[in-house]
Structure 1
Amino acid sequence: MKFKGLTVKDLLKLPILKNAKLVSGDQGLDRIVRYIDIMEVPDVKDWLREGELILTTGYSIRHDPKLLLDLVEQLAQAEAAALGIKPERFMTGIPQEVLELSSRYEVPIIEIPNETPYIDITYTVMEQILDKQAALLRRSEEVYKTLTALVLNNSGIQVVADNVAELVKCPIWIVGSGGELLVSSPSSAPYEPSAGSRQWDVTVDKRSVGRLVVGKEELDELELVCIEQARLVFALELMRRKTEHDTEQRLRGSFFEELLMGLPLSRQEVENKARQLGLQPDWLWEVCMIEGEDGVLDESSPLFVKVSELVHQEAARRKVRCHLQLQTGRLVLLLATAKGSLDRKPALGREPAREWSELLGPLLEQGGKVCTGFGGKRPLGEVNRSYIEAKKAITLGARLDKDRHTFTFDEVEMFHLLLESSEYVQFDPLLEKKIGKLSLYDKENGTDLITTFYYYLATGGSLIETANRMYVHRNSVKYRIDRIKEILDIDLDNALNRFVYYLCTAFYLLKKSD
């Protein structure tokens, strides 16, 4: 059953109007009649409404029949339903120009016999309108109860979407505020918005949380009612899902906070809590720590949004769950990897799995205003170690290379051990012996030969790469290396020499930054 309302065509089929005649505007027969009124004055423009049927004898315009042209203009502008007129009583007929204007605007003019009382017409028409509206309201209530029951029974958003799609007889999609597809019906229907589809906002607390997209352009009255009810029900469902998500995030955040702080939890406690929060105990975890200026890492900042989207997309692809945690001045990412997933051969046509540092590194380097460190992969109960390693990666990496912004603990682990051992082993005599002269030369001449020497050794003896890192010309680097060889009187073709001097220059730079 389709609820289009009472059309002008339906109106002419009523017994009370069996002798009435449509004289013009037949292309407007599908106009909906929502109200009915009688015109007693010529100026009606201030109270005309959309869908209104006007009845008149023409008494108020009998001395100037051209006023009928103005009336048709006003009816067209107000998108009224039709004009019913008794022209025989006070008029000599309907002027031809009025009929032509009516046809042009597609506003039907109905000639009503004098013997038909207006009261009978108004009573019958209003009865029909009210009957149809009551039926529409009853059906609307049924739709609302059905859809609301699905939400209250926790049937899931897919079941709700399937019911709505069946009611409107076309595919539908619910799209999140970020443009991501939340659900579609049929579930296999690809989201392909087109000119032939319509969409409505889904709002919660006056804030848009998504869009309801319907796969057809023309909807009847009942279908539009279904859409309004569906928007409300989808808002309830999305609000429920958001509440669940926020609660889960809060619980998961508290759990990870305990782990990052290194609180003494037994292995069994860690595994039990992990399972309750949808985390698999055999996943390996690595911490990515991002430090930046105020505002760079706020939840609304572009960098935070991009990092969050990339992490969630990759987590979905890996079928794991990750967590983002804001701390004072930093963002901490707890990144999961299923055990052995990086070792497996990818399916045909799919890219091989990559390390988290490889995926996030380019994005974080582009940020420019942040410094990032990646800890090693650890079991969930040892995630505190990865957290500490991420801190070390930032601290040591930034001392050794001020032009880079992203470091892994693997890259600085040897230097970390070197610094740790320096508390028990005296390295100063070795430094003085190997690069003491170079340090003295730098202090006396304001040069930076030790840094140049470190970059030269760190890049495998590349003059070009060292020049890039020092922001000088290649010939300047060559001159400096020749000067270093002369001051230290060393042979850099010897592998052991290069190794010893690499450690010494690195240790010197690390200690210098303390």
Structure 2
Amino acid sequence: MIYVKDLLKLKSFKEFKLVSGESGLNRSVSWPNIAQTTSISEWLVGGDVILMTGVGLEISEEFLTNIVVEAAQGQAACIIMLLHPKHIKSIPDSVIKVASDRHLALFTAPWETKLFEVIGSISMVVANDRLEERMHNEFLERLLAGEINIEDPLYVKYFEKYNLLDRKVVVTIKYDFKGKSSKNGKGVYYSERIMTEMMQSFMGYFEEINYLNKYNRQTFIISVSDMNEKKIVDTIKTIYYTFNKQFADIQMQMGIGKVTHKVKNGDCASGENMKEVLEHQSQELMKSYQQAKTTVKAIQKKGVFYYKELGIYQLLFYIDDKERINEFVENYIFPVMEYDRRYNQSLLDTLREYLENGLNVTQTAQSLYIHRNTMIKRIEKIEELLECSLKDADTCNQIFNAVKIYDLFLNSN
């Protein structure tokens, strides 16, 4: 992925001056475009590097402000304005502020700038990056699908190039953009932008990642070196909850596979030893990936889970007969579910909270923000509906299993 900050390394950008929007240097770049119309919103696709001379246009402070606003709304990468006494003389302070407020990088460039060189250099960098990313994705797809031939020297080279021989964890994310998929006909770029922002979120917490974008699914192979398991999982969950809060309208499920074992002698391996190392690491990464995918399947709406948190319920993913699973759930908690549906109540939520709080009435009441006496009445109603006593350990265990299975497999609300 190419970002605006990467363009600063180009020779053609040497004379450009960043006048506003430094916080927008992490925007991704799709392609360069020259703006020669009074409005640009109609043709923006997202990630555009906009070059503007002002020739043939009536330049005013209001006009420049509108262009910046449209660029920001259209998710442009940045704007480059060529300065000339007869066209765009300078950038007004108000326009600089608008760009800064919208985190859009705004550059000025000398009039002598050769646009064809700028466009050519940007196009070349983007094209090369796309080729590299395609090769990277193809390798990761084959690796995680178990299609790697470790006898092939090329794959050994890729393992080393992408630093895949240290301790890793695989995270899989599934997105549902709903109405966003057709928003202004720019759904493809919108989904790419969301995935890019998620990638940057992971980069902010972990030193090194490999990523794979495919349709509305994203997979990360994260280097975790000597981080302990709890810190790894807590960090990934922090990324999820922060991102989910920012993009609350997007349905997102995130599954975390188990952390791979540290590769022994990976740095000094060679010959047959290297073959063993690659076989081991390939299997470890495949296993973590499958676990992450399985965990995503367990999440019905929104959520984030670590594979190990599924506990014994992992085994249910290998049962093809879903009707049997549904039958088990109904045998234990159907009367409560039916009561909630008929009377628009939430006894199942109460039951779940009560079981998760170890049958502690006071603690559950506090969690649900209800009076203790109200809580007691709800428990009595649940026992009446289920025709059982929740004081019986075996009964509670079966009911708790039914609730957990319902949440993992059947609850889509």
CA contact (8 A) 2:172 2:256 kept: yes
What does residue 165 of structure 2 align with?
281
In 2, distance between residues paired with 1:309 and 1:295? 19
Cα offset, 1:369, TM superposition:
3.8
CA contact (8 A) 2:336 2:348 kept: no
User: RMSD in angstroms over aligned alpha carbons?
Assistant: 5.2
CA contact (8 A) 2:17 2:109 kept: no
Cα offset, 1:294, TM superposition:
4.6
User: Could you give the per-residue CA deviations for residues 465-504 of structure 1, whole angstroms, max 9, x where no partner exists?
Assistant: 7748xxx998665422123345312427x6x765554224
- 1:412 maps to 2:343: no
In 2, distance between residues paired with 1:353 and 1:503? 24
In 2, distance between residues paired with 1:481 and 1:262? 50
Cα offset, 1:173, TM superposition:
4.5
- 1:246 maps to 2:127: no
What does residue 337 of structure 1 align with?
223
Structure 2: where are the runs of 5+ without partners? Answer: 1-6, 28-48, 53-70, 91-107, 182-186, 261-280
What does residue 62 of structure 1 align with?
none
**C-alpha distance 261-340 of structure 1, shift in aligned 2 (>3 A):** same
What secondary structure does 1:506 align onto?
Answer: helix
In 1, distance between residues paired with 2:351 and 2:179? 37
In 2, distance between residues paired with 1:363 and 1:159? 32
Cα offset, 1:421, TM superposition:
8.2
Cα offset, 1:243, TM superposition:
1.4
- 1:291 maps to 2:175: yes
How many percent of aligned residue pairs carry the same amino acid? 14
- 1:374 maps to 2:255: yes
Cα offset, 1:450, TM superposition:
5.4
Q: What residue identity is the alignment partner of 1:409?
A: Y
- 1:483 maps to 2:372: no
- 1:364 maps to 2:266: no
- Name which one, 1 or 2, has greater alpha-carbon Rg: 1
In 2, distance between residues paired with 1:309 and 1:412? 28
Cα offset, 1:358, TM superposition:
1.6
In 2, distance between residues paired with 1:370 and 1:410? 23
Cα offset, 1:513, TM superposition:
6.5
User: Greater relative contact order: 1 or 2 (C-alpha under 8 angstroms, separation 6 or more)?
Assistant: 2
Structure 1: where are the runs of 5+ without partners? Answer: 1-155, 166-170, 183-199, 346-351
**C-alpha distance 357-490 of structure 1, shift in aligned 2 (>3 A):** closer
Q: What residue identity is the alignment partner of 2:400?
A: Y
Cα offset, 1:242, TM superposition:
0.9
Q: 1:506 aligns with which of 394, 401, 404?
A: 404
- 1:396 maps to 2:396: no
CA contact (8 A) 1:285 1:337 kept: yes
In 1, distance between residues paired with 2:402 and 2:205? 44
In 2, distance between residues paired with 1:265 and 1:232? 44
In 2, distance between residues paired with 1:475 and 1:284? 50
What does residue 315 of structure 1 align with?
203
**C-alpha distance 202-363 of structure 1, shift in aligned 2 (>3 A):** same
User: Could you give the per-residue CA deviations for residues 133-166 of structure 1, whole angstroms, max 9, x where no partner exists?
Assistant: xxxxxxxxxxxxxxxxxxxxxxx9647379x45x
What secondary structure does 2:140 align onto?
Answer: helix
Cα offset, 1:271, TM superposition:
4.1
Cα offset, 1:372, TM superposition:
0.6
User: Could you give the per-residue CA deviations for residues 61-109 of structure 1, whole angstroms, max 9, x where no partner exists?
Assistant: xxxxxxxxxxxxxxxxxxxxxxxxxxxxxxxxxxxxxxxxxxxxxxxxx
